[in-house]
Structure 1
């Protein structure tokens, strides 16, 4: 099977001295995340309990499983990444080649539930389920959507015959990704699809404007070291072919898109995408500083380290970007 498709060519940068709108002048995206509320229905009070560490809030249910906060700041970052993804894909919620209207769709590690809400609106005849450790999903949702608080690494209890299983920005945090994928495989209907959407968690550069030892680049490398302390793989999204194959999936393909970090591109739409990504990365600094980075650095080191990375993040002469991977795999229609 072919390797991931080559990312598009280099993104054209703004020429030195060329005038463009300031970041504050960007029009609002067509994809509004503001309607996502942090409440849910039909849940016991115990799952609403939270733990607090270093000024950030974490889910209490299975506390420690996921070392990233679930507070408003993190929810806003999650929704911003969704808006960024829709701009990047021209509004596509998935790339898996599903024909017709899917009947059953499940979103594993749904987060705020914003993808699940959009997919339920897109396919009103489908039954949609979002599953997450945190009960932070909205109360008012399409009638064909429901949410469930559960650990997706537990034994599967979410029913069968799914047409599409969706996962996004969760692979790095899984302790046993093959188990999760194998369970998904076993409960997808024959001929159904899985799609996993992941950023590569790197500050890439094509034109030499950023060196490998630049603070922004080193942030991602240091974050990778930090999450290893929790038994997790920060860059799992780059290497999902083997886990998908081990789980039994066939027709595995990967679409790769470039996501600029910052408003340095010449193209206005790419600048908007870059603004979303820059803001998400900046917010990620705080999420990583609150817990994971403290495993390998002391608080003073973290403050100095992130100050240097933020300086790079705000420098329009640095033309960095992340890669967005869209992995697709199919359960065979007929199994031998």
Structure 2
């Protein structure tokens, strides 16, 4: 998440999109703000890559006894927030300087933000008090499709494959969602839980809840399908801006096509820092 490495724009439309995306998550989780046991009872909370700060603000509102801190590269958070909520501008890929531990660290949609996600998991572990929880919510790529209506020769599949290749070359791989469970376990977390949800790419499902999720998901991704590839494709793979825009336009048509029954896999992973951590032997 270092300066100049974040691949999406940081303008008013993106800020609005992130707030709407938060609503999409709450709809997915039946209005829960997170899933780990620290959805209640946390006293000191850290939100990694807080963006607009909406998660912090709502968590602070719902938990007035908790101290909630959001961290991001950009100062786009609102000025008026709950008294128990604050924001800091910092680079999470550098050393974390908090001296007081947290009992809940939260991360959402940081796919493509970090070069070394294992390091982030380890930093989270080190900055939690024993018994504290780390929860990560991320979108997996490529798409899922259970009935073959999204084919590998479609423009949408081509778009996501080029995006994955470009972000890999960019040093910000997009495959972290599928790896969070193993990364947390390797960092030392125990009782790691993984849940996978589905965001339909548009309103194709018949189920009312999934149809609504698809409408919100389409609104979310329709806005980002072009800016998501502009920087990675032009900087990493040498594409022209015009080539990237044309690919995005073609992919957008497939994204909106209700005959294509694709979805985004959403991974939620959380784990607990052991109450007692093993001390390394001095002779080791």
Shorter-chain TM range is: over 0.9
How far off its partner does 1:293 sit? 2.0
Q: Distance in 1 between matches of 2:76 and 2:98?
A: 19
TM-score, structure 1 length as denominator? Answer: 0.78
Taking the TM superposition and a 5 Å limit, the aligned residue runs for 1:79-90 are: 79-90=19-30
- Determine which structure has the larger helix proportion and give its number: 2
The reply on whether 1:258 has 2:198 as its aligned counterpart is yes
- Tell me how far apart the structure 2 counterparts of residues 141 and 231 of structure 1 sit (CA, whole Å): 35
Mapped contact 1:171–1:177 kept (Cα < 8 A): no
Equivalent position to 1:275, from 200, 215, 232: 215
State the SS of the aligned residue for 1:172. coil
Say which of 34, 44, 50 aligns to 1:110. Answer: 50
Partner of residue 306, structure 1: 248
For structure 2, the 5+ residue unaligned runs are: 279-284
Contact 2:226 2:244 in 1 (8 A): no
How far 1:245 moved relative to its partner?
A: 2.0
CA 1:179 to 1:62, structure 2 compared with 1: closer, same or farther past 3 Å? closer
Residue 24 of structure 1 aligns with which residue? Answer: none
| Corresponding residue to 1:164 among 93, 104, 110 | 104
Partner Cα distance (1:222, 1:73) in 2: 24
| Superposition misfits of 4+ residues, deviation over 6 angstroms | none
Q: Which moved more, 1:156-165 or 1:250-259?
A: 156-165
Equivalents in 2 of 1:201, 1:140: separation in Å? 36
1:283, 1:251 → 2: CA distance?
37
- Counterpart among 180, 183, 205 of residue 243 in structure 1: 183
Q: Pairwise mapping of residues 145-294 of structure 1 onto structure 2 (< 5 A)? A: 145-294=85-234
Normalization by structure 2: what TM-score?
A: 0.92
Instruction: Give, in angstroms, the shift of residue 256 of structure 1.
Output: 0.6
Measured at CA, do residues 259 and 62 of structure 1 come closer, stay the same or move farther in structure 2, by a change above 3 Å? closer
List per-residue Cα deviations over 1:45-80 (Å, max 9, x = no partner).
xxxxxxxxxxxxxxxx95313122111121122112
Question: Does the Cα contact within 8 Å between 2:2 and 2:93 map onto a contact in 1?
Answer: no
Which residue number in structure 2 is paired with residue 64 of structure 1? Answer: 4
Correspondences of 1:115-154 after superposition (within 5 Å)? 115-154=55-94
Q: What displacement does 1:201 show?
A: 2.7
For residues 100 and 145 of structure 1, what CA distance do their matches in structure 2 show?
16
- Size of the alignment, in residue pairs? 276
User: Equivalent residue of 2:37, what SS?
Assistant: coil
Alpha-carbon separation, structure 1, partners of 2:249 and 2:181? 36
Contact 2:202 2:256 in 1 (8 A): yes
- Larger mean CA deviation between 142-151 and 64-73 belongs to 64-73
CA distance in 2, matches of 1:292, 1:312: 21
Cα drift, residue 99 of structure 1 = 8.0
Q: Secondary structure at the match of 1:262?
A: coil
